[in-house]
Amino acid sequence: MQFGMFGSAQAKRAGPDVDSGAGFREFIERNVEAEALGYRSTFLVEHHFTGFGQVSATWNLLTWIGARTSTLRLGTAVTVLPWHNPVLLAEQIATLDLLSQGRVDAGIGKGYRLKEFEGFSMSIEEADARFEECLEVIVKAWTSDSSWSHKGKYWQYNDIVVEPSSIQRPHPKIWMGAGSPRSVKQVAQLGLNMLLGQYDPFDMIIDEVETFKREVESLGRTFDPLSVAVARSVNIVDSSKEYEDAIANRMVARRRTQEHALQSNFQDTRAAAEAGTIYGSLEHVKNEIKMLQDAGIEYVLLNCPAGISTLRRFAKDVIPSFT
């Protein structure tokens, strides 16, 4: 199995006497140590207008991490394509791929937080169409060695050559976030790698992976287990109190996210908070990872609310059992 990281750094707005960059610097150091501990990758979120400092300029932060590491793969989970100029984004990603010697994993998605779309004065109803056009332009930018033009609904370009080209060919590895049968099939049809979220319960994850595998094979391609990365929230706890505190914190975090997502199907329950978590004793965590492995999942991204301490303990006491 392979293990990477999924998460966010935080840098809240503050006055002149507060070091707003401390959270970013701590996150960079965490990634440097994680590489030394044997983790394969880091995948960062992209969020805006939260008021609690979630990372927004994700590719900038990844560039700093890339400069401090040498093997860690540099991913996003996800860059929300509807919000971005596709040519500028293609240039930025290709530049980091060059500087990092081909370590970019470009994770893309459509977005789901209503308040972010409102902040950009954009209808969330346009997310699918904007996503599809943006992806088309990005791939064209990466794979065209001569000048080209594009006349779309949202973007128009005339006789341009996009530079630089990436090290990875024909372009950086693309991952797409999925959370429904429709989106799982779309990932397969596009020939992309698939990211599955930390809030999806175990049974849903298994169904999504099986659907993806069937769709890939029905299209005449060979399914690669490492083309699917599953995010899980991981917390190794040593007492029932630590467990209860961890679940309580997760419920608070989910409510905070819902304030921005405004999803109609949100469930503010303990069961919903526990879904997607691997919280418990060391043996419990090992057993949960083994269940994922037995289900055919070979790539897990850890979201660790307790930070580097969990990454250290997981690397020391869990990873050796699965490599």
Write the pLDDT tens digit of every residue in 72-114. 999 999 999 999 999 999 999 999 999 999 999 999 999 999 9
pLDDT above 80 (res 12): no
Mean pLDDT of 173-188: 96
Q: Take residue 261 and report the two structure tokens written for it.
A: 């997502």
Amino acid at 142: W
Q: What is the pLDDT of residues 264-319, one digit of tens each?
A: 889 999 999 999 899 999 999 999 999 999 999 999 999 999 999 999 999 999 99
Q: Residue 65 — very low, low, confident or very high, per pLDDT cuts 50/70/90?
A: very high
**pLDDT for residue 270:** 93
Mean pLDDT of 225-250: 96
Element (H or E) spanning 64, and its range? helix 58-68
Helix, coil or strand: residue 296: coil
**pLDDT for residue 17:** 82
pLDDT above 80 (res 15): no
Mean pLDDT of 117-140: 98
Gyration radius (Cα) of the chain, Å:
20
Using CA atoms of 24, 27, 29, 32 in order, give the dihedral in degrees to the nearest 10.
-130
CATH number reported for the structural domain that contains residue 132 in this entry: 3.20.20.30
**pLDDT for residue 236:** 97
Distance of CA 287 to the CA centre of its chain: 24
- Rounded to 5 degrees, φ, ψ at 188 are -65, -45
Q: Which domain range does residue 260 map to? A: 2-322
**pLDDT for residue 53:** 83
Any residues with CB less than 8 A from the CB of 9 and at least 6 apart, and which?
23, 24, 26, 27, 28, 44, 55, 61
Q: Take residue 306 and report the two structure tokens written for it.
A: 């307790």
Q: Residue 11 — very low, low, confident or very high, per pLDDT cuts 50/70/90?
A: confident
Q: Total structural domains in the chain?
A: 1
| Closest to 289 (Cα-Cα) out of 227, 221, 236 | 236
Number of Cβ atoms within 10 Å of the Cβ of 249: 14
Q: In whole numbers, what is the pLDDT of the chain averaged over residues? A: 95
Q: Residue 16 — very low, low, confident or very high, per pLDDT cuts 50/70/90?
A: confident
E runs forming strands in 161-212? 173-178, 193-196
Q: Take residue 264 and report the two structure tokens written for it.
A: 């109609």
Q: Take residue 3 and report the two structure tokens written for it.
A: 């293990």
**pLDDT for residue 261:** 87
State the Cα–Cα distance between residues 292 and 152, nearest whole angstrom.
42
Our separate counts of H helices and E strands in the chain read 11, 12
